[in-house]
Chains A and B, each alone.
Chain A
């Protein structure tokens, strides 16, 4: 297979052929690859282990960019569930909405969703950064362990439920905090971080009333004296 491919029409290939072409192009040092007509197909650009710019001209399906390590992915359209699942490094920019479990279990890298996400955005994040230009769905940040989630819009019920560590910033309204998620004081270093992360996306961080959410740490160790907290979590 010729590997110096920089344009792929997804409608003419199987998902396996597309992913193999992307990986071969990345291994050959092709700097950028464009993919037309993805039509919301699942599992595109997964486990790409070299730095390469991957541009989807249209919506992609579930698990796009999962397990990638160094690739820079841009999607001009929506993403389905679990975009960037277990991302190690690199970036994914979604110029549309994304489905549930956005950025699930990411360990590094940066995921930006210009629109809204579904439920459980940032579930079990272990590092990295998730920036959402719109709002996030139910129980986002659930069991977050590390990393940063920035939500410019609103957060649905249960934000940050049972989070261990990490930080969630919400610029809009919070429907309700999840179990053991508490609001912390916003400092200058937080404002600098928000400006640094949102500036490149064309978002003015100073225009929002940010809330900083962290773990209350009452669920770290069981205590019968904290029975109500445990009952609420379970």
Chain B
């Protein structure tokens, strides 16, 4: 099991307390996954600059050398470190894969995300553990996706926690519940096209798979539909882009996924209890996705 949730304001101009909303939705999802928790949050994009989120599990000058590497690549306008978690804004016009390599040249450094609007925070433990390690509940933005992980393969550590950034594509990430049984085949195919992976977690391949299709000019709808037949195994997943959120469920409907929406917002979750955490007066009517169904919400 793993728990998924997502929230999106439909109006392209609207922002709100998506951090607080996701924190509330993730609470009940802790029962579906106690190993780790993570969130991808989308704030106001700033053209020309990227936000880098990275974890530095080393000291002895490593944080300073990472910042120096950033400053060597572009203009760093701000950077803060909360425990091992680095957040920096950089004006940069080069290849994001090169920037990622420059940051990760230092040992024990992992880039969580690079995006114009997206910021990924994650931590071992529940949503409160994430909030304690790297506060996100005060985040104002347009949309967000979250995940609670019960690890059935790969390590229980922060690097293998969701969401996974579709490196090096900015602002695309995925959260997934299930197993991708043709993971190695898909990964090899994508690696042969030049893509790289940060972990051995099967969920990461979904992010890169979808991002690759979007990069080739396919619509989010087409990419989602293709994924239902191209991915083997069990899956319910949420993919977030700068413009919205897409969701898909495997053709056997083996993993739960519901959505509810109003004129203002769309909510997605593995279980209704997560939606009710922010809709206790039951104004919304959640519906389970059908087997093999895809949906998407664009701002």
Contacts and interface: CB of A to CB of B under 8 A. Distances in A.
B290 A138 contact: yes
- Interface SS, B side: loop
Nearest to A62: B271
Nearest to B258: A99
Interface in B284-299: 285-288, 290-292
Interface in B224-268: 251-253, 256, 258
Determine which residue in B272, B285, B290, B291 has the highest number of CB atoms from chain A within 10 A of its CB, and name it. Answer: B272
A78 B272 contact: yes
A94 B271 CA distance: 17
B243 to A, nearest CB: 29
B272 to A, nearest CB: 4
A78 B258 CA distance: 12
B280 A137 contact: no
A81 B1 CA distance: 14
A37 B282 CA distance: 10
Given A40-B276, A137-B253, A118 B288 contact: yes
Contacts of A97: 285-288
A156 B290 contact: yes
Interface string A11-42: 00000000000000000000000000101111
Contacts of B276: 39-40, 59
A70 interface: no
Interface in B15-72: 31
A78 B285 contact: yes
A61 interface: yes
Contact of A137 (B273, B282, B291): B291
Nearest to B253: A119
Nearest to B251: A138
Contacts of A100: 253, 256, 288
B90 interface: no
A138 B273 contact: no
A116 interface: yes
B275 interface: yes
A58 interface: yes
Contacts of B285: 78, 96-97
Nearest to B272: A40
A28 to B, nearest CB: 30
Interface in A47-83: 58-59, 61-62, 77-78, 80-81
Given A59-B272, A61-B271, A77 B282 contact: yes
A59 B282 contact: yes
Looking at chain B, what size class is its interface with the partner chain? Answer: 20 to 34
A156 B282 CA distance: 28
| Interface of chain A, main secondary structure | loop
Contacts of A62: 271
B275 A40 contact: yes
Contacts of B288: 97, 99-100, 118, 137
Contacts of B290: 118-119, 137-138, 156
A160 to B, nearest CB: 16
Contacts of B292: 138
Contacts of B286: 78, 97
Contacts of A80: 256, 271-273
Nearest to A60: B272
Interface in A84-143: 96-97, 99-100, 116, 118-120, 137-139
A157 interface: yes
Contacts of A58: 282
Nearest to A79: B272
Interface in A154-183: 156-157
Contact of B273 (A40, A116, A118): A40
Contacts of B275: 40
Nearest to A77: B282
A61 B292 CA distance: 23
A42 B282 contact: no
- Residue of A39, A42, A137 with most chain B CB atoms under a 10 A cut-off: A39
Given A39-B280, A118-B288, A119-B291, A138 B252 contact: yes
Contact of B287 (A41, A59, A116): A116
Given A39-B277, A97-B286, A99-B258, 9 more contacts: A40-B275, A59-B282, A80-B271, A97-B285, A97-B288, A100-B288, A119-B252, A119-B290, A137-B288
- 9 tightest Cβ-Cβ pairs between the two chains A and B: A138-B291, A119-B253, A40-B272, A40-B273, A39-B276, A118-B288, A40-B276, A138-B253, A61-B273
20 contacts: A39-B280, A40-B273, A59-B282, A78-B272, A78-B286, A80-B256, A80-B272, A80-B273, A97-B286, A97-B287, A99-B258, A100-B253, A116-B287, A118-B290, A119-B252, A120-B253, A137-B288, A137-B290, A138-B252, A138-B253
Interface of A: 37, 39-42, 58-59, 61-62, 77-78, 80-81, 96-97, 99-100, 116, 118-120, 137-139, 156-157
